[in-house]
Amino acid sequence: MKLEDVKKIAVIGSGAMGNGIAQVCAQAGIKAVMVDIKQEFIDKGMATINKSLDTLVSKGKMTAEKKAEVIGNLSTSLNNAEAVKDVQVIIEAVPEIMSLKKTVCAEICAAAPADALFASNTSTMSISPRGPSMGVPGLGR
């Protein structure tokens, strides 16, 4: 897969890392769907993105038109399977709870296109298929 083949990315999790990842993707001109389990989490993530973009506009680093374009590249969902059905890249950014990561990864791997690239945003957990890891069937297919 080449970078120009990436038209849509799903970011699973709208917290501090997830909303930042979604924002960077949207700023790069890629459609990004930000997914979480509760609307209040999504709303908070979108508010954080809006505040960040407003800061860029107020400092003259981004135009209001560009901000509108970035916001237009973002969508949200409460449904993992629906969000990943037509993406080329999935970035998991859920809390550092192994059982949660395994459950989310299994769900999205079952629903995503077979050729989708999957990435995990983790700093403390092994995602290697060898040894103690997420060990999700279908991951790394």
37 alpha carbon, distance to own chain's centre: 13
The parent domain of residue 57 ranges over 3-120
The reply to whether 107 falls in a domain is yes
pLDDT exceeds 60 at position 107? yes
Indicate the SS3 state at residue 33: strand
pLDDT score for 133: 45
pLDDT in tens, 8-35: 999 999 998 999 999 999 999 999 999 9
Q: What is d(CA 32, CA 118) in angstroms, rounded to the nearest whole number?
A: 14
Asked which of 1-10, 51-60, 92-101, 127-136 is least confident by mean pLDDT, the reply is 127-136
Domain containing residue 54: CATH number:
3.40.50.720
The reply to whether 128 falls in a domain is no
The reply to whether 31 falls in a domain is yes
Q: Which residue has the higher pLDDT, 114 or 136?
A: 114
Looking at the 3D structure of the chain, how many domains does it have? Answer: 1
Nearest to 72, CA basis, from 51, 49, 40, 42: 49
pLDDT score for 69: 98
Asked which of 34-38, 46-50, 93-97, 112-116 is least confident by mean pLDDT, the reply is 93-97
Q: Binning pLDDT at 50, 70 and 90, where does residue 129 land?
A: low
Sequence-distant (6+) residues with CB within 8 A of 72 are none
Q: What is d(CA 17, CA 48) in angstroms, rounded to the nearest whole number?
A: 11
Q: What is d(CA 23, CA 129) in angstroms, rounded to the nearest whole number?
A: 30
Element (H, E) at 124: none
The reply to whether 7 falls in a domain is yes
The reply to whether 134 falls in a domain is no
Amino acid letter for position 51: K
